[in-house]
Structure 1
Amino acid sequence: MTRHSPIAGPDAAGIRFSFELFPPRTPEGLAQLDRVVDRLAALGPEGFSVTHGAGGTTRDRTRGVVERVAARTGLPVAQHLTCIGARRAEIDDEARALRAAGIRRIVALRGDPPAGGAPHPPGGGYRHAADLVAGLMRIADFDISVAAYPEVHPEAASAAADLDNLRRKFDAGARRAITQYCFDTDTVLRFVDRARAAGIDRPIVPGIMPVSHFGRLRRFSETCGAAIPRWLAGMFEGLDADPARRAGLAAAVATEQCRRLAAAGLTDFHIYSLNRAEVSVALCRALRPERTGAGPQAA
């Protein structure tokens, strides 16, 4: 399988990774994010991405963080861009502003509407991620990543329909797909096999979710349709009050998943950092000790 990065171009070094961040709400959170980004950048990632809130509610903060992380690290940073709840003209204007600011990497998503918000406001908007990708490509030659769902999107009529939707996003101009996190590695590998059998040959980058707090992870997973295997729940039961043990176990679980995926030829990973460094640092050191360092200076 050809190796591709979720953010940048090819690199012969083997395993590669990028990190997802979210825009903090407070100045204190932003200062903390700076410290996290410094630690993650020292690991030699391909780059970062920065999320939007529901309905694009954090759009201005997202742009600020994208520019801040790019200036701080010198690494590529992709901006998430959602289309639900926004008029087409609004999205087009934002895309032109991104291009003018020199931001050409985008993670294009349909997104979820904010609570009580309209899915499609008066004036019309891009209804699906494939429509958004096509619209972005009409404005500029953006480097676009899209989402894929090993466990099938909760709103998809079937697994086959979900793959058809993924194909439409690629046909519209997306370069790669980043998967929703999935703790069952066999499910991820079967999904990639099904995609290849369906004629989808673009890069598929596994999204990796280290367990930072199991209770919050369980609640979030219920909303996005990601299954929590019984074995994982058993491992982390009672550890939310023991952060040191939880972090060590989370790093071990994520490392084992990445090693299995890499053995199957999937060597690029997009790590959902949740604006935390400890588990991501441990994971990346385990995967690439020769490039991330092993001593305390690298932390």
Structure 2
Amino acid sequence: MDVSFEFFPPKTDAMEDTLWRSIRRLEPLRPKYVSVTYGAGGSTRERTHATVGRMLRETTLKPAAHLTCVSATKEEIDEVIRDYWDLGVRQIVALRGDPPGGVGACYERRPGGYANAADLTAGIKKIAPFEISVGCYPEKHPESKSVEADIDMLKAKIDAGATGAITQFFFDNEVYFRYLDRVRAAGIDIPIVPGLIPIHNFKQVSSFAERSGASVPDWIGHRFEGLDEDQETRHLVAAAVAAEQVLGLVDQGITEFHFYTLNRADLVYAICYLLGLRPAKAFTEAKVETAT
């Protein structure tokens, strides 16, 4: 069983502490890699770079840096790509990215910039032999005309050098399997890793879903009704919902998962434990030695 985790770079000292507590909590599970996001319009570029650098210096993790096309020329992005290679990064998650106004704002290509994720992927490959993952959208990207158009774009990303894809999060497993059938029927055989988001806060995740074009089944909303002020019960329900989804995917033969952690570790750790992942022995022994 393989897992990977997504984090976002912190904006404050308090968020920095939360991020690194989460990283340390999940590190012993030996994820395949961890990714670090890039804010809308490239707004977290320096913080992303700093977080990735610290991961390389202070942890055993393999970081995959997000990179987007927005608000930068090819020359500026190419400099970031070279910096990552020199830093020791060997995997990039290549995305078109959201415009500075966020999801829903009109995307405009920066003059002299990369046009889309396929163009960016090709540019990365010209500079260094990174392993490149890209995004895909089981319910289509909000700006796409159809799922078929998204699949055509995915083909273009693969032709440009992508070797794996991570889905936008979803809550109905049938959405993922229908998409997977379409992708395979189109001749695409790269790994399509399901991206999952534990529901720490139902209203927040529902807002993410609305902006991202992901549907939230009514039954999930019903499970969280009346729990806004009951954090303890809300977390128990969230764990049950996440476990049900993950084990349902496992029953259908899925063996790799990408978790959008929102920089919070507890639910993700519990889900991984259900998947049979256990802390590496070296980390467990280190904790015991520290305690004594």
Specify the SS of the correspondent of 1:42: helix
Instruction: Answer yes or no: is the 8 Å Cα contact 2:29–2:278 preserved in 1.
Output: no
Instruction: Answer yes or no: is the 8 Å Cα contact 2:8–2:262 preserved in 1.
Output: yes
Task: Choose the corresponding residue for 2:64, options 78, 82, 99.
Answer: 78
- Structure 1: any 5+ residue segments left out of the alignment? 1-14
Aligned to 2:122: 134
Letter in 1 for 2:114: Y
Specify the SS of the correspondent of 2:29: coil
Deviations 1:239-294 (A, max 9, x none): 2322222222212212221222222222100101000111111111111155579x
Aligned to 2:110: 121
Question: In the TM superposition, what is the alpha-carbon distance from 1:28 to its structure 2 partner?
Answer: 2.1
RMSD: 1.9
Letter in 2 for 1:119: E
The CA distance in 2 between the partners of 1:81 and 1:88, in whole Å, is 12
Does 2:227 correspond to 1:239?
A: yes
- Structure 2: any 5+ residue segments left out of the alignment? none
Aligned to 2:97: 111
The CA distance in 2 between the partners of 1:209 and 1:89, in whole Å, is 34
Aligned to 1:65: 51
Deviations 1:202-235 (A, max 9, x none): 0110001000101111112111111111011111
Instruction: Answer yes or no: is the 8 Å Cα contact 1:179–1:205 preserved in 2.
Output: yes
Instruction: Answer yes or no: is the 8 Å Cα contact 2:169–2:195 preserved in 1.
Output: yes
The correspondence of residues 170-185 of structure 1 with structure 2, limited to 5 A, is: 170-185=158-173
Q: Which runs of 4+ in 1 moved over 6 A?
A: none
Instruction: Answer yes or no: is the 8 Å Cα contact 2:27–2:60 preserved in 1.
Output: no
The correspondence of residues 48-59 of structure 1 with structure 2, limited to 5 A, is: 48-59=34-45
Letter in 2 for 1:34: W
Does 2:161 correspond to 1:187?
A: no
Q: Which moved further from structure 2: 273-282 or 40-49?
A: 40-49
Q: Which moved further from structure 2: 83-92 or 193-202?
A: 83-92
The CA distance in 1 between the partners of 2:106 and 2:127, in whole Å, is 27
The CA distance in 2 between the partners of 1:240 and 1:83, in whole Å, is 38
Does 2:10 correspond to 1:21?
A: no
Distance change in 2, residues 1:256/1:70 (3 Å): farther
Aligned length: 281
The CA distance in 2 between the partners of 1:246 and 1:279, in whole Å, is 12
Letter in 2 for 1:81: L
The CA distance in 2 between the partners of 1:66 and 1:290, in whole Å, is 24
The CA distance in 1 between the partners of 2:57 and 2:248, in whole Å, is 35
